[in-house]
Amino acid sequence: MRRRLLPVLLLASIALAACRGGDGEASGPAAATVDTATGSTFLPGSTAPAPAPPSTTSPSPAPAAPDGPPPAVRLTTVAGLRQPTAMAVRAGDPTLFVTEQPGRVQAVRDGATSLVADVTDRVLAGGERGLLGLAFSADGATLYLYWTARQPTGQVTIAAYPFAGGRADVGAERVLVAIPHDRFGNHNGGQLGLGPDGFLYAGVGDGGGGGNPLRTALDTGSLLGKVLRIDPTRAAGGRPYGIPPGNPFADGRGGAPEVWAYGLRNPWRFSWDRANGQLFVADVGQSAYEEVNAVPGDRAGVNYGWNRREGLHPYNGGERPAGAVDPVIELPHDDGVCSITGGYVYRGSRIPGLVGRYVFTDFCDSRLRAGRPAGGGWLVERLGAEGRGVTTFGQDEAGELYVLDSSGLSRLDPA
């Protein structure tokens, strides 16, 4: 396994360790061709997966990304923050809410920050652990947080807190999901998102270690290495949440009822295209390839292929599982790439030429990239801006994008 020298920062290890598992590198020829002058990458279309279950809805086609090179962009500093890990917004509220890894939630308004919630007394932070994700209920009255617990050690925890008057009541914590995670400190996942269907989704890592030694990712009975989907608004079946209809194992047969998708190593991050509901899942690679997947947002039971596949390639001689999807974007580990940071399809108005392109980056090189369908595959191009150890992206109600890195919170603007 190749090792890289990075500044010794708590924040740096969140994404960097996610791409390391102490295992060998995957084999297989690179699928993408890269123009080193422009930074463009073209990923040809891959073999189609086996037929999936029919979608329950037929979303309208989203506006296509314009042809031609993407516009140049710049990052405009919004606020300084300490080790930011995630961002969310609340319906009807212009405030940007940001988690900080040690266990705090900050509100950012007009460049100033104020404390919304502090759970540092219960959060185990360090390396990839800490306060990693947040989301709000549709009515804004509940804040959901995703964190790793001090006790039991490393337990992946998703909890709900009443929210009113600009503050969360951390004393009224209601733990929804608790997943043991004490064997390894990495691959905790950390994404929370309220889906277009109103249910709460969570991206959970495979439990850590190189090559998924716990064999959880393809085990549909485990909650590790998954995207979960629950209804946090009602308790049912002896659980503090309900199981939404349409979950592939909702009846408990063949897998855990909470599982929406599986075969993931460390999803960092996922998002929906607000124009058509398409779900994008960026999954951190083992040691050779990073990937971005795109599927219809209402497609249940998707198998993303880990640990038999890394990107478009066999992992340790593994065969592609029947019906598994292939990524639409793959980045090989060269030119400084080490650990993908997923973003959003841009649907804002500040940068018209960026509309319809999926914006993302890699933690190590932190050069912003934009991908779009082209010629039966996906074209990936650099945007001419870069952060410093980008850990995540955010999207406001207007569809504008934000970048969170070691320097704090910045907005994506036209250059």
Specify the pLDDT at position 61: 59
CA 308 to chain centre: 21
Q: Identify any residues that bridge with 201 across adjacent strands, giving them in sequence order.
A: 193, 229
Domain boundaries, the chain: 12-414
**Helix/strand/coil (H/E/C) assignment for every residue in 263-298:** CCCCEEEEEECCCCCCEEEEECCCCCEEEEEEECCC
From 392, 308, 312, 397, select the one nearest 99 (Cα to Cα). 392
Specify the pLDDT at position 28: 29
Angle at 99 between CA 94 and CA 100, to 5 degrees: 135
What's the token pair of residue 414?
A: 């036209």
**DSSP three-state, residue 396:** coil
Specify the pLDDT at position 32: 36
Q: Are 372 and 383 in contact (CB under 8 A)?
A: no
Instruction: Please tell me the pTM assigned to this model.
Output: 0.89
Question: Nearest 5°: phi and psi at 306?
Answer: -70, 135
161-220: per-residue pLDDT in tens? 999 999 999 999 999 999 999 999 999 999 999 999 999 999 999 999 999 999 999 999
Instruction: State which residues of the chain have pLDDT below 50.
Output: 1-11, 15-17, 19-60
Q: What superfamily would CATH give domain 12-414?
A: TolB, C-terminal domain (2.120.10.30)
Give the E-state strand segments of 38-103 in sequence order.
40-43, 73-79, 84-90, 93-100
Specify the pLDDT at position 59: 43
Question: Nearest 5°: phi and psi at 16?
Answer: -65, -50
Specify the pLDDT at position 17: 44
Specify the pLDDT at position 65: 80
